[in-house]
Amino acid sequence: MRYLAVLFLALIPCFATADDASHLAAAGKLIDLVKTRETMRNAYINSIDAVVRSAPPGQVTPAEINEMKQTTADWFDQELDWGVLKSKLEDVFVKSFTEDELNQLVAFYQTPLGQKTLTQLPIITQQALVVGRDYAQNKQSLWTARLQKVDEKYHPVPAAAAPTTTGGVLNMPSTPTK
C-alpha cells in the first residue's frame, strides 16, 4: 500500500504537466484562430499613421509613409520570433482563462458569428475610438481645467512669476521670467 502511495505521488507531476500542456495548447489554438500574429503585425504597421499625423502637414510624403510601413513590416517579419512571442502570449492567456474557457472561446470563434466578430470587432473598435475622441474633444477644455488645478496644487507658481502663466508644469510660461 505504501508503494502505491509513493507511486501516486511520483506521478502527480506527470498529470500536472499533461494538464499544463493541454491548457497551453488551448491558448495556442485560440491565438492562432483569432489571427493574433496578423493583428499584431498590422497594428505595428498602422502605428506609422499616428507618427504621420503628429508631423506637420505635408512634411511626410506618401512614398515615405509607404517605405516606413514596409520597413515596419520587414522588422516585424525578420526580427520578432513568432514562436517566442506566441509562447509568451500563451502564458498570458493561461493566467487569464481556464482551459475550459479557452476551449469555449475556440468553439465560439469557429462559428459563423465568431468569424464575423473577428472581422467586425476591429472595425467597430476603430469607429468607437473616433466617436469617443470626437465627443471627448468637446469636453477637453473642462478636463484640462481640472488637470490644471491638480498641477497647480503640486507645482504652485510663486507670486513673482509673471501673469503669463496660471501655474504648474502643465502651463509653464513661454519665456523665462526673472
**CA-derived radius of gyration, the chain:** 26
pLDDT digits (tens, 9 = 90+) for 90-139: 999 999 999 999 999 999 999 999 999 999 998 998 899 889 988 988 89
> Shortest CA distance to 68 belongs to which of 84, 54, 83?
54
Residue 159 CA to residue 150 CA, distance in Å, equals 18
pLDDT digits (tens, 9 = 90+) for 17-64: 447 999 999 999 999 999 999 999 999 999 998 888 888 888 999 999
Residue 157 CA to residue 68 CA, distance in Å, equals 43
Kindly report the pTM of this predicted structure: 0.64
